[in-house]
Amino acid sequence: MPNQSNSIKREHNIQNAIRLWCGEHNILCFRCNVGKVQCIDGTWFDTGLPDGFSDLIALTNGTIYFIEVKTRTGQQRKAQIDFQHTVESRGYIYILARSVLDVSSKIPYNNTNGGI
C-alpha cells in the first residue's frame, strides 16, 4: 500500500502544476483548504468549507470550475463524490484531475486574451 504522506505530496505537486498552468493562461485559480485544525491554545479553527469541497476553484469567462485533484490511483471519498453530484446537479462543472491535461482539456482558454 502506498505511503499516504507520499500520495499527499504527489497530489500537492499536481495541484501546484494546475495552479501554475492556470496562472500562465490568466485563469483565476484558488486553492481551497477544507477541514479543522487544533490551534496551540486548544481551540479549533474550521475553514468553513464543507467536507468534500474541491481542492481548487478556477474562474474564467464567467464560468466556475470545481477541480478535485487526485493521483493516478487516488480515489474520491464519499463526501467528495456527494459534493461532485451537488455541483453537477446545479449545472456547474466539476473536474476530477489527475494531471494538468485533465484541466487544460476541459477549460477553454485563449492565449491571445488570457481567457478572462
Q: Mean pLDDT by 10-residue block, N- to C-terminus, for the chain (116 residues)?
A: 64 95 95 89 90 96 96 96 98 97 92 49
CA angle 86–109–30, rounded 5-degree value: 50
Does this model's pTM top 0.75? My answer is: yes
Distance CA 75, CA 36 (A): 21
Distance CA 21, CA 101 (A): 10
Per-domain residue ranges for the chain? 4-104
Distance CA 76, CA 56 (A): 14
**For the domain bounded by 4-104, which CATH number is listed?**
3.40.1350.10
The confidence score (pLDDT) of residue 37 equals 87
Contact assessment for residue 47 and residue 77, using Cβ atoms and an 8 Å cutoff: no
Length of the chain as a residue count: 116
